[in-house]
Structure 1
Amino acid sequence: MKPATAFPLLLAGALLAYSCSRPAGKAPAAAPQNMMIRLSEIEIEPRYLAEYTAILREESASSVRLEPGVISIYPMQQQAAPQQIRILEIYASQEAYQAHLKTPHFQKYKTSTLPMVKALRLIDMQAIDPATMPALFRKLQR
C-alpha cells in the first residue's frame, strides 16, 4: 500500500482509538459496529481558502463540543495542495450523523461554504480492528 493511501486509513484508526479512550462524561459510549466513519475529500476554490478554513474550524469545534454523538470531525489540508481538504468524521451512529446534519452550526457551514467548494467526495469507511485501536493514542493522554 502506498504511504499516501495508507495515511487516511491509519489516521482514521488512530482518531477512532483516541475517541474510544476519552474519559467518562466526554462522549457517550459508541459501539464500534454502530459507528459511522467517513472521509470527506473537498477541493476548495483557492480564492476562498482562508474564509473556508475559518468557517470549517468553527463548525468542527462546535460539532464536537455540542453534539454527544459526534466523536470526531477532524479537518486537514494537504501540505503541497492546501486547497485539498480532508475531514475524518466519526459519529456514534447513523442517527447521530442524521442529527448532526440538522444542527444550526452544520447548516450555517453548508450554506455559507457551498459556493467555495469546487469538488466534494464522501467516502464511507469501516474500522478494521476497533478493539485494539485505543493503544494508538495513549501517548496523547500524558
Structure 2
Amino acid sequence: MKIKIKSILKICISLLFILLFHSCNQNATTATPFNSENMMIRIAAIEIEPAFLKEYLEILKIESEASVRLEPGVICIYPMFEKERPNEIRLLEIYADKAAYESHLKSPHFIEYKTSTANMVKSLDLIEMSAIDEASMPKLFRKLSLN
C-alpha cells in the first residue's frame, strides 16, 4: 500500500512541476499591462475525491495551461497541493481585472474543466486576496526559465 501511495505522490508532484513551468510563464508578446488596482487575485481551495485525483490533475493541467496561453487577461493559474493531503488542491489565480475573470468563466476550456470535474470535487472555496507588495508583482514570474 505504501508503494502505491508513493507512486501516486510522485506522479502528482511531477504533474505539478510541469504546471509550474507552463501555467505561470509569460513572454513579452503576451504580457498583460500591469495595473494592480483592477487586478483580481484569489486562492481557490479545492478538495478532490481521492479516487479521482489522478484524472482531476490531468484535466486541471490542460485547463490551467490553456487559460494562461489563450487568455491575455489570465496572468496566472498556479495549481499546487498540500504535501500531507494531496487531494487538497490550491490554485493561485491572478486576472488582469474582473472582466478578464468573467471572460475566463465563459472560455471553452474552463467550461470543459468544470463539467468534466463536477463529480470529482468534494468542496470549493474561493478566497479573495489583495497583494501586499504590488511593486514586485510584475517581476514574479520573469525569474523562472524553461531552459
Change (3 A) 1:139 1:68: closer
Question: Do the aligned partners of 2:81 and 2:90 also contact (CA within 8 Å) in 1?
Answer: yes
Q: Deviations over 1:94-121 (max 9, x none)?
A: 0000000000000000011010000110
Aligned-pair Cα RMSD in Å: 2.1
TM-score w.r.t. the length of structure 2 is 0.77
Contact preservation (8 Å) 1:42, 1:118: yes
Instruction: Please state if 1:53 is matched with 2:57.
Output: yes
- The 5-angstrom pairing of residues 1-142 of structure 1 reads 23-134=27-138, 139-140=143-144
CA shift digits 1:68-102 (9 cap, x unpaired):
00000000011110000000000000000000000
Question: What is the alpha-carbon distance in structure 1 between the residues aligned to residue 127 and residue 54 of structure 2?
Answer: 25
Residue 15 (structure 1) aligns with = none
Instruction: Calculate the TM-score normalised by the size of structure 1.
Output: 0.79
Gaps of 5+ in 2: 1-23
